[in-house]
Structure 1
Amino acid sequence: MQEPPTDEGNSWTLVEASQAGDVRAFGELYERYHDVVFRYVLFRMGDRSFAEDITQETFVRALRRIGSVSYQGRDIGAWFVTIARNLIFDYVKSSRYRLESTTSEIVELSPATGGPEQQVLDNATNSELLASIDKLNPDQRECIQLRFLRGLSVAETAELMDRNEGAVKALQHRAVRRLAQLLPEGLR
């Protein structure tokens, strides 16, 4: 097992101090990583108050479990983001939340086309596309949303999904193939 670096400004030094009961050290971790976690949740969910709640819950859970974390060659921020990610998944899986994207958001991003008839067709197409995306498994759905609806790069998607770039490319490929199967014949 690797040993964490021990320089003075290192986050793992703060983790070890927190594990020994130093409340100020955990406060310093909170200050360093609060914005990272908040931005991650806000980006994923798009709701500021939800992001604030999940960020706070992330650090409450981290404080409770700080004794169980050990150095694995990565920055402690990855652990905080993993906790936040799991909280989001728990919330999304619960009946309190249903992933919805309005078709008007997608239409606003598309180039202007013809008149009202074309807009009705575009809305119907977007509705079918979103319904098909909702039928994907959770990993495929997340990949498609990050890559195509949010416009992230493969590297950014890999970082958010905690996977390597090759895995994201393969997941994206499988998701697009599955979407092609799910879309009605006239929209493929």
Structure 2
Amino acid sequence: MITEANGATPSSDTREPALIALALAGDREAFGQLYAEHHPAVLAFVYRRVRNRQVAEDITGETFLNAWSKIHTFTYRGVGFVGWLITIARNKVIDHCKSSQRREFGVADMLGFDEDPTVSTEEVVLLSLDEDEVREALTRLIPAQRDVITWRFLRQRSVAETAQAMNRSEGAIKTLQSRAMTSLRDRLGVAA
């Protein structure tokens, strides 16, 4: 089983570490289950950056192909498998933008709408910070706070889905998330 330096499991979801261990051993079915679990989050991440469904699907596919070919390099560092996938996806998006001969402008770009209105302030802050800083700050949170941030922002789950996964009420998740974000901002030195 994959564990953190302090011996704790990486999240309250015990199924994912087992799937990761099987995938690391070359089990394609286990990787397929990880794909099914994380594909929506990776696709959403990529789509928000490229704003083209077909390009987003292509980059997401490349991300998972790259992940499978490099699965042996995965190590748990505090944000889990989806964080690793998002890192690969981010690099693929950067490569795509650099290699594009021309930039296509959509109507939203011409009107000056650069951000997806559904992206929360918390997501903007987390995505703009250095990944290593965020990982380090996450390790200093209490486990429940770390889990709620992982579920809500790294796995991009709803409050209801997070509540179900963590066996808590939606109200408790909202409170825990608020406290977790305050703690994370304090540890990162980010103004509210």
Higher relative contact order (CA 8 A, sep 6+): 2
> By how many angstroms is 1:96 displaced?
2.9
**Bigger CA radius of gyration:** 1
Contact 1:12 1:71 in 2 (8 A): no
Please say if 1:159 is aligned against 2:163. Answer: no
Contact 1:54 1:84 in 2 (8 A): yes
Specify the code of the residue in structure 2 equivalent to 1:19.
L
Distance 1:151 1:169 in 2: 22
> Percent sequence identity over matched residues?
31
Please say if 1:71 is aligned against 2:69. Answer: no
Please say if 1:51 is aligned against 2:18. Answer: no
Contact 1:18 1:66 in 2 (8 A): yes
Specify the code of the residue in structure 1 equivalent to 2:45.
Y
Correspondence for 2:162: none
Specify the code of the residue in structure 1 equivalent to 2:121.
V
Normalised to the residue count of structure 1, the TM-score between the two structures is: 0.58
The worse-fitting range, judged by mean Cα deviation, of 87-96 and 23-32 is 87-96
**CA RMSD after TM alignment:** 3.3
> By how many angstroms is 1:81 displaced?
1.0
CA distances 1:21-75 after superposition (whole Å, capped 9, x unpaired):
1111101100000111111111211111111101110000000111011011222
Higher helix share: 1
Aligned length: 132
Q: Which runs of 5+ in 1 are unaligned?
A: 110-144, 171-188
Normalised to the residue count of structure 2, the TM-score between the two structures is: 0.57
